[in-house]
Amino acid sequence: MAITAHNASQFMRRICTAAPIMPVLVIKDANTATDLGLALLRGGLPILEVTLRTPAALDAIKVMSDLPGVTVGAGTVLNAKDAEAAKDAGAQFAVAPGATDNLIEACTALDLPLLPGAVTASEAMQLLDHGFDFMKFFPAETSGGAAALKALAGPLPQIAFCPTGGITAQNATQYLALPNVICAGGSWIAPASLVEQKNWGAIQQLAADAAQMPSSKI
């Protein structure tokens, strides 16, 4: 039986309580995937999103999906082709910046849990009609930030969010303090400069700092 939107949201809610931050990774060289994944895991961040923005992304997902203790998903999943490729690579979930009926249908057919994106009340309500009650809020900072999410909690208390887009070590706690935020996604934990330098110790420390961010939902 294909996964339902409700079951997908329940799965995503459950795994996202593992840590307050989900690293959003843009991987240019799949040969770095093992060391990068282990550094993030050892720092306390086991749920990883590898964005499909580079030619190396699918190979990186394949590598990370074999790391014990790591749950890796594909980000920037835009259509059925992306969803199929992510599933074949071993992704355990998909993350989208928005949502379309075709993408939802594809992920349902593939049994691939989807974290769809919404940024307005209408978009959130449409996804709620589909059965989703956990969504990505993107792009967070340029769409009103924590204040916008706080406002959405009033009329839509049944919906929880994972904000991404402009989240930093400095503002993440503002989001995590909100009642409708389970976790936040951020790229600051694995900056390209540190990955290129293979400075896994520094990345592990950034992950450890992020893992200690206060959240009532973790």
For residue 1, the model assigns a pLDDT of 54
Predicted model pTM? 0.96
Q: Is 29 left (phi over 0), alpha (psi -120 to 50) or beta?
A: beta
Whether 57 has a pLDDT exceeding 60, the answer reads: yes
For residue 180, the model assigns a pLDDT of 97
For residue 205, the model assigns a pLDDT of 98
Cα dihedral: 104, 108, 114, 120 (round 10): 30
Whether 31 has a pLDDT exceeding 90, the answer reads: yes
Q: Which of 28, 81, 105, 136 is catalytic?
A: 136
Can you name the residues that pair with 94 across neighbouring β-strands? 74, 114
Calpha distance 112→8 (Å, rounded)? 8
Q: Shortest CA distance to 145 belongs to which of 175, 117, 177?
A: 175
Catalytic (active site) residue 84: no
* Per-residue model confidence as pLDDT tens digits over 75-123: 999 999 999 999 999 999 999 999 999 999 999 999 999 999 999 999 9
The mean pLDDT value for 150-171 works out to: 98
Cα dihedral: 139, 143, 145, 149 (round 10): -100
Q: Which of 28, 49, 81, 217 is catalytic?
A: 49
3-state DSSP call for residue 163? strand
The mean pLDDT value for 167-186 works out to: 97
The better pLDDT of the pair 216, 32 is held by 32
What CATH architecture applies to the domain 5-207?
Alpha-Beta Barrel (3.20)
Q: What count of Cα atoms within 13 Å lies in the side-chain half-sphere of residue 189?
A: 36
The mean pLDDT value for 179-197 works out to: 97
Whether 2 has a pLDDT exceeding 90, the answer reads: no
Q: Shortest CA distance to 91 belongs to which of 70, 109, 105?
A: 70
